[in-house]
Amino acid sequence: MNDMKNIGILAIAIITMIFLSSCSGLDLSKVSDEDMERIADKAIVCNAPYMRFGTGCCLDQNSNAICDNDESLEASEKNFETDVEEGEVETGEETVKENQEEVKTATEKKSPSFSSSFDLSEFPDFLILKGTDVFDGVIVIGDDNSAGAFNGAYDIIDELSAEGYNVGSLKTASDILGDEFSLNLITIGNPCENDVTASIMGNPKNCDSGFEKGKAFIRLYENGDNIAVVVAGGNSDDTWVAANMLLEPDKYGIKGSETILITEGKLSNFWTEPEVTGDEPEEAYKPKQPLSSSVDLSNYPDFFGNVENVLNAIMVVYDDPQEAMPYAIIGQALSDEGFEIGSGKTPNQVSDPFGINLITMGNPCENAVTASIMGNPKVCDAGFVSGKGMIRIVQNGDYVAVVVAGKDRKDTWEASKILANHDKYNLKGTTIYTDTASKSVIPEDEYWGEGEAEAEAESE
C-alpha cells in the first residue's frame, strides 16, 4: 500500500515539474531551495552506483556520497601547487605566467631537518667511519674564500689530522653543489658566503636573515643517511671563532642540534700573531749550501733545500691575520709534501729579505718584503692586472724568493692555490701568470691587456 502511495506521489511530482516548466510566465527562481529540494528528492531517482546530484545523477563508485568527478577535481586542486612547473599554465580563457618563487614544484628538493639521531656534543665521532680513522665527510667553504671560513676550515682540518683522522682536502661550494644532499658535510660560512650552506638551509630569501655581528651558530642537519654540520656567523671573525669552538664542544657547551655562540672579541683566543724569537728569527732558515744558479719553478719547492725535512725558507704574510689565507694554502700543501714549515712571518719581522730564502705573498702595496724584492716600484701596484695573478722567482746570489701576488687579494689567493698544486699545473720557468676567474695558468700575452705593457715597464 505504501509503495503504491509513493508511486502516486512521484507521479504527481513529475507532472508538477512538467507543468511548471511549460508555464513560460512562471519564474522558477522564486521557488525556494527547500521546495526544490523536496520536489527533486521525490522526482529524481538514481540507482546504485549513481547518486542524486542537483537535478541529475552522478557516478559514486566508492559510495562515499561524493561524485567521482568532484573527487578527482578536488585532488587536482590540492596538488596544483606541487604539479605546476615553471612556465605556462593553461586556463579556460588565457595563458598565465606563474612566478617560480611563488609556486612550489614537485621536483624541488626539500631542506634537511634538524638531526634528532645525533648530537653536536659527539663531534666529530658521528663523521668518523666506525672502526677506522677515516673522516667520512667533506669540509666546504664558499667560492669567495671568506677569510674567517677559510682559516676556520684549516683549523678544523689541522686539529682532526693531529688527532689521527684521515681528512680529505678542502672543497669550495662549486666543487660539490648539486651533490650536497648525498654527502656528509661540514659547511662553513653563512648563506651569503657559501652556496652549500644556503642550499642546506633552504636557500633563504635574505641570506643574512637571523645573523648578527658578534654571534654565530653551529647546527646539525640530518638528510636521510647524511649529516651536515653548518658553522656560520654574522661576519668573518664570528665564523672563524665558531669553527674553533666546534673543536671543543664540552668547553663551549655545544650540544643538541643547534648551539648559539657569543663570538665577539674572542678571535684572540684562537689566533696569536707570530712571535719573533731572538734578534734574527730567520737565521735558522739560511741555506747550508749555495743554490743552483738555474732555479726554475719546475723544481719548486726542492730548490729551497731542507734540513731534516724543515723547509729552508720562511713564508711572509700580510700584517692582517685575516689575510693569512695564502700562507695557509701554500703551507698546507708543503706540509702534505712532507716539509715542516715555520710560522708565518709578517714583513716587519724580516730584517734582511736578501739574506734569506723566502716565499712572500701579496703585492708591494700590502707587503713591504715583496716591495723590496721587486725593487720598491714607484707605483706599488704597477705591473699587476685586476683579475690576474703572478708567481715569480727573484734570485739574489745564493738566496731565492718566490713572489706570489695579484692586484687584488683574491688574485693572490688563486695564484697561491696554483703554486700549491704546482705538479698539477706543470709549472716551469721563472714567471707564471694566472687567471683568477678560470683558476688557470695563462700565457704572458694574455696577462697583459692593451695598455698594460706600459705599467710593466713603469714597475721595472
- Quickly list DSSP for 51-91: EEETTEEEE-TT-SSS-HHHHHHHHHHHHHHHHPPSEEEE-
For 113-156, how does the pLDDT look when each residue is reduced to its tens digit (9 = 90+)? Answer: 666 678 999 999 999 998 888 899 999 999 876 778 888 888 89
Mean per-residue pLDDT over the chain, rounded: 74
Partners of 399 in the beta sheet? 396
Q: Is it the case that residue 458 has pLDDT exceeding 60?
A: no
Q: What was the pLDDT predicted at 267?
A: 78
Mean of the pLDDT values across residues 275-294?
A: 38
pLDDT at 100 > cutoff 70: no
Average confidence (pLDDT) over 325-332: 84
How sure is the predictor about 452, in pLDDT bands with cuts at 50, 70 and 90? very low
Q: Which comes out higher in pLDDT, residue 437 or 120?
A: 120
Of the candidate ranges 200-209, 223-232, 448-457, the one whose mean pLDDT is the lowest: 448-457
The predicted-structure confidence for 56-73, as pLDDT tens digits, reads as follows 666 676 677 776 554 443
Residue 287: count of CB within 10 angstroms of its CB? 17
Mean pLDDT of 2-24: 49
Q: How confident is the model at residue 283 (pLDDT cuts 50, 70, 90)?
A: very low
Tell me the pLDDT tens digit for each residue of 337-396: 888 887 788 888 888 888 889 999 999 888 999 888 888 888 888 888 889 999 998 887
For 162-218, the pLDDT digits (tens) are 888 888 778 889 989 999 999 999 999 999 999 999 999 999 999 988 899 999 999
Rounded CA Rg of the chain: 36
Q: What Å distances lie between residue 171 and 139, 317, 324, 361, 439, CA to CA?
A: 6, 23, 18, 22, 14
Quote the pLDDT of residue 23: 45
The pLDDT value recorded for residue 451 is 42
The pLDDT value recorded for residue 251 is 93
- Segment 438-442 shows an average pLDDT of 88
What percent of the chain is predicted at pLDDT more than 90?
27
Nearest-angstrom CA–CA distance, 73 and 269: 63
* pTM strictly above 0.75: no
- Annotate 248-285 with three-state secondary structure: CCCCCCCCCCEEEEECCCCHHHCCCCCCCCCCCCCHHH
| Contact predicate 331/315, CB 8 Å | yes
What gap in Å lies between CA 150 and CA 188, rounded to an integer? Answer: 8
52, pLDDT greater than 70: no
Task: Determine the Cα–Cα distance for residues 398 and 408; give it in Å rounded to an integer.
Answer: 31
List helix spans (H) across 146-282.
147-162, 173-176, 195-200, 236-246
- Which domains are seen in the chain, by residue range? 2-69 (no CATH), 113-269 (3.30.379.10), 283-459 (3.30.379.10)
How many residues appear in the chain? Answer: 460
Confidence class for position 4, pLDDT limits 50, 70, 90? low
Residues 6+ apart with CB under 8 A from 375: 460
What's the pLDDT score for residue 360?
94
